[in-house]
Amino acid sequence: MELLEQLEGEHGPLTERVSQLRLLFGAVAAGERRVPTVQAELRGHLEWLRDELLDHFGREEEVYFPYLRDALPQVVPEVDRLESAHDQICGALSRMQYLTARGSRRFEEGFEHLAHVFERFAETYTLHASSEREVLRSAAAQLTEAQRAELAEVATGVG
């Protein structure tokens, strides 16, 4: 599998986790789950997302994006937008983690705001994943075989 396709493929589990969170927030909104009962579950989901997103974004920002900037200067504006979205996504995720780490009473009182932050996060993530897929596919089509080999070598050892 091509390195860029592999990177794009990482979105599957991330998107699935965002969908699980959407279902959890929906269950609370529908009265199927009570707010106090979801705090620990949310913490677990958000911790997993944080770890996976930071790994994913790290690979992109430390290896792939710098390489693409050098090899394909015409994609620089798109890569800059992707990095900016990383910051927005991480900011919203950090905020959600803060809100779920509060005491149970404050968590319950602030749940509506947490749900709002999640919606912003989910929307930004979904748009970002789609944009990233387009940018990576376009970049992959523009790279020469030699550039692909060079990128694979640069990416070797990046977890």
Task: Identify the weakest region by mean pLDDT among 1-5, 11-15, 79-83, 114-118.
Answer: 1-5
For 106-142, the DSSP string reads HHHHTHHHHHHHHHHHHHHHHHHHHHHHHHHHHHHHH
CB 24 within 8 A of CB 41: yes
CATH superfamily of 3-155: nmb1532 protein domain like (1.20.120.520)
Q: What is the pLDDT of residues 68-118, one digit of tens each?
A: 999 999 999 999 999 999 999 999 999 999 999 999 999 999 999 999 999
Q: What is the pLDDT of residues 114-153, one digit of tens each?
A: 999 999 999 999 999 999 989 988 888 899 999 988 988 8
> Hey, where are the domains in the chain?
3-155
The pair of three-digit structure tokens given for residue 112, joined into one six-digit string = 């509506």
pLDDT at 5: 73
The DSSP code for 35 is: G
Give the SS3 label for residue 156: coil
Rg of the chain over all Cα atoms, to the nearest angstrom: 18
Residue 3 has pLDDT above 70, yes or no: no
The stretch 7-14 carries a mean pLDDT of 85
User: Which residue would you say has higher pLDDT here, 44 or 11?
Assistant: 44
pLDDT at 65: 94
Residue 1 has pLDDT above 50, yes or no: no
